[in-house]
Structure 1
């Protein structure tokens, strides 16, 4: 045999190995941007931004409007046996006036609502990016395993041809061909199972992100080590975390609402102009009036409730920051460990493939048994599959770090993207 076992088989997988571009195993950036922009969660967040902009305009202009009042009535004056009737009417226009401090607070509330919407949009886009990355690597794993099972089946068919030659030469019994065919049949079953998983993974990816075009071959990229310390990732990921930003924006929004409710303890006055015509227009009255609500208990209760809600939002933001810090440690540790695991899996797979080459050559020369040959091929295949999965895990975990640090798939739509 001139072929070199699984070493040559891996070349037959049609897996394009690329080490020159760190993102060669990811979809093109323009496709990613389009896929994210078209996702329903991002579209909903953009609608939320429009709501926030409307909220800001409403807060700036205020809820108060002019009220026009008018009425007519009949005035009857009885003097002895004489009754005098007259037609009277009146008209008034009034409007509540926000106190100056409330105008400033409302402007701050509108700005806080807009900031909250911006963080919500960034958080939605980031979460969808995570989903895309996860589904992309799920498909890549299944597709790579499918191709490797196909390569294993090709190798076993080559082994069957060699066994047939040795049977014709009288070197081995015919039952060895049955063993090879049985091993090939088992590999065919595993290949069909992998094909099913790959098809399902591709369907899920296409349904969630129709803008993505799946390549015909899987690109394998050599993982890169995480050289920066945990403190580096901790600081940069905390500073660019939309989830924390959204929680803090919500806390700020609630604090400003509480300040507004506290200011409402002092009610806004209503100022009006009134014009009255009496005694068939013989008497006319014009004047200005002011009305002030006197109730206090309801406004005080609203202020207390708003203060409690602001404290809850602040506590939730602090709790979320502790959770995110734990997620950062988990993601960093996973990325570092995944790279080390891949290195070990790569060394083991290389050694087992080399051993399978030697055993296969020995069998072709009549110096080894078929059982040992099939076992070595199976071990080499399992090691190669493990190495491929470890490679994908290492790459995905590293990309996840870059994504959370906003160093991957950043765009102008992301308020925290580097420029």
Structure 2
């Protein structure tokens, strides 16, 4: 199957081709036809599977056939949990609509509101927004939902995790009941199913991955290390393996700032990105990372589901997340759209419970590799994933891909014996 088989307009197909795509991903192949048919859709898909295009392309196809929006009206609303994700979705909308006459806008907090009000004054076909800023704009009379045709809830599970359920309910009450609603989530959890029953009518269900699975394209390793030596190990890995681009996750904002400063002192250009940073600082850091001006971008979990970085080669968990599901979203930043990726977790003995929770969730035992010179004094226990889910022995190429690991004779890696950002609006 290719995109031509899905019934999209020639203008959209031209834009898709220019983006370098010709074959739809599984979620796109399953979701686009029912969206084009006007059905409500509830889709579960991991990050990096092409889900943004799965709703953006058919949405633009439908809107292109309708009338232009009047002043302050919007015809389609896409709600996202974070500013970074809103910007990413809007980038997709602009890229795919370049040969259409549709108008779009992206609004989120942390920046001046007046330019956003001015942008909405002439009306937009597609409005991408975070919940808090959208409610502020509506309260000022800057946006009119009376002509809204489509609502998209993107990363719905993340919005629930971040405490946006009350904002979502307030927003939905402002919208026409006669609308098409699309919901995209990493999983079909109980909360998501309850939310869907309240807002979707006879939805088509699309699921392309097992719940909480990690992408097959991402190879994963655990590096046991004592807590106080994590920074030194990370610096060693960056230098020894000549990593030009690495996304590093910490558990706290303070930890992200401290690690970024330590990497800078070690001669590794880096920047921190988290909820206490201004939007301009976050945008600048992400831009510098994408352009190669910094090697390491140190982030809290605010970035786990909002950063879209093409061909990101590796992700490092400097701290394991205390919520196991966040591990899946973190490492989903690499190995996207079928590309190969690598995820490394620097695990100290005090994180053993977090590691066990992650392995139980993803039904895998993650291979431990001790890095020569950084062997821990304190043991990180071996995992015991369900027998059916335990990984097969790795081949030589996969073992060789673990950077910095000490080798035994025969090439086998030595087995060691061994809070996210505060809830906020828009």
Q: TM-score range by the shorter chain?
A: under 0.3
Question: If you compute each CA radius of gyration, which structure gives the higher value, 1 or 2?
Answer: 1
Instruction: Give the alignment's TM-score, normalised by structure 1.
Output: 0.18
Query: Per chain length, whose mean CA-contact separation is higher, i.e. which structure has more relative contact order (CA < 8 Å, sep 6+)?
Result: 1
